[in-house]
Amino acid sequence: MRIAVLGAGAMGSLFGGILAEAGHEVWLVDVWKEHVDAIRQRGLRITGLSGDRVIRRVQAVESAKEVGGAELVLVFVKSTVTEEAVRGAVSLFEGHTLALTLQNGLGNVERIGSVIGFQNILAGITAQGATVVGPGEIYHAGQGLTAVGELKGAVTPRAERMAALFNEAGIQAQVSDNVMGLIWGKLLVNVGINALTALTGLLNGQLLDHPETMEVMEMAVLEATQVAVAKGIRLPYEDPVSHTMEVARATSRNRSSMLQDVSNRRKTEIEMINGAIVREAEELGIQTPVNRVLTNLVRVMERTYARN
């Protein structure tokens, strides 16, 4: 299959690299010139859980225009730039092109849909994890299930083909009839962990060592749960607070992506995580003071990076 990966950082390179190894024609599209140049010159190096190797049969380009059309576009930019990235890559989308987002945060489907329409979008979540080591190299840090599905829940042949494509390449995947519930389910965990780790500098598991961080985590997740319930979202687990704590325990040694972002003075996904809860809540007339505080504090951190 002719596959374009829009945003070939940690996750885009991981999925793109593995799909290329499985024999697909993969084009990595990324604005990070040094990364694109390194992959062109030396191939894509993946280390970590799936083994150390260099993948040479993957194409890397800075502009989607060099690709032409694709049958599948995997959108793996950060959710902060989804809309501008898709706008800059409209040449990838032909009448039949499917877009798949496995990004974190709320609003990616809406932003992709605002550019290409909603007809050909699949969404999902993934428990795979990766980090960028440097130009041309990523580290495969986590393995787990990827779930994909239609926005409205139907189990369709194209969703089944997508899961099969991943499974055949060795990325464990299944079709879900509730991807929006899964996206919210992952969002609630990120609401409880990400901003708190970014603000405190703690590892995920260390949030559970302090009654103060536990209390804020619980309040933030409960507020977000209230919003999810009001929106009629079918969450994939019973108790969001204990689920978030279980995830923090299971990933205890992880530095969350938001902590990594603030450590590297990069823009975070706060607006699509805690910030999205605040916005959704406002529309529903629900108060979410804890998420507002977390959002405001991370915003101020981002704004004042240069001064510290």
81 binds ligand NAD (CB under 6 A): yes
7 binds ligand NAD (CB under 6 A): yes
Q: Residue 129 region, left (φ>0) first, then alpha (ψ -120 to 50), else beta?
A: beta
Short-list 205, 219, 209, CA closest to 274: 219
Known catalytic membership, residue 231 = no
User: Which of 120, 126, 176, 197 lies at the binding interface for ligand NAD (CB under 6 A)?
Assistant: 126
Task: Tell me how far, at minimum, the Cβ of 80 lies from ligand NAD, in Å.
Answer: 8
Task: Tell me how far, at minimum, the Cβ of 286 lies from ligand NAD, in Å.
Answer: 25
78 binds ligand NAD (CB under 6 A): yes
End-to-end alpha-carbon separation of the chain, Å?
Answer: 47
Sheet order of strands, 25-29 included: 59-61, 25-29, 2-6, 70-75, 93-101, 121-126, 146-150, 173-175
Task: Tell me how far, at minimum, the Cβ of 68 lies from ligand NAD, in Å.
Answer: 16
What residues contact residue 122 under an 8 Å CB cut-off, 6+ apart?
98, 99, 100, 101, 148, 149, 150, 151, 158, 159, 162, 179
Stretch that binds ligand NAD, among 129-137, 228-236, 243-251, 275-283 (CB under 6 A): 129-137
Short-list 68, 60, 119, CA closest to 92: 68
Stretch that binds ligand NAD, among 30-38, 48-56, 168-176, 233-241 (CB under 6 A): 30-38
275 binds ligand NAD (CB under 6 A): no
Which tokens hold the place of 112? 């992709």
Between 84 and 209, CB nearer to ligand NAD: 84
Task: Tell me how far, at minimum, the Cβ of 159 lies from ligand NAD, in Å.
Answer: 19
Query: Tokens 């995947």 label which residue?
Result: 173
Alpha carbon separation from 108 to 77, 124, 143, 205 (Å, rounded): 10, 11, 23, 28
**What CA dihedral angle connects 279, 193, 134 and 28, to 10 degrees?**
-50
Contact string (CB under 6 A) for ligand NAD, positions 215-254, x = contact:
----------------------------------------
Between 155 and 191, CB nearer to ligand NAD: 191
136 binds ligand NAD (CB under 6 A): no
Residues annotated as part of the active site: 186
Chain positions contacting ligand NAD, by CB under 6 A? 6-12, 29-32, 76-79, 81, 84-85, 88, 103-105, 126, 129-130, 132, 257, 269
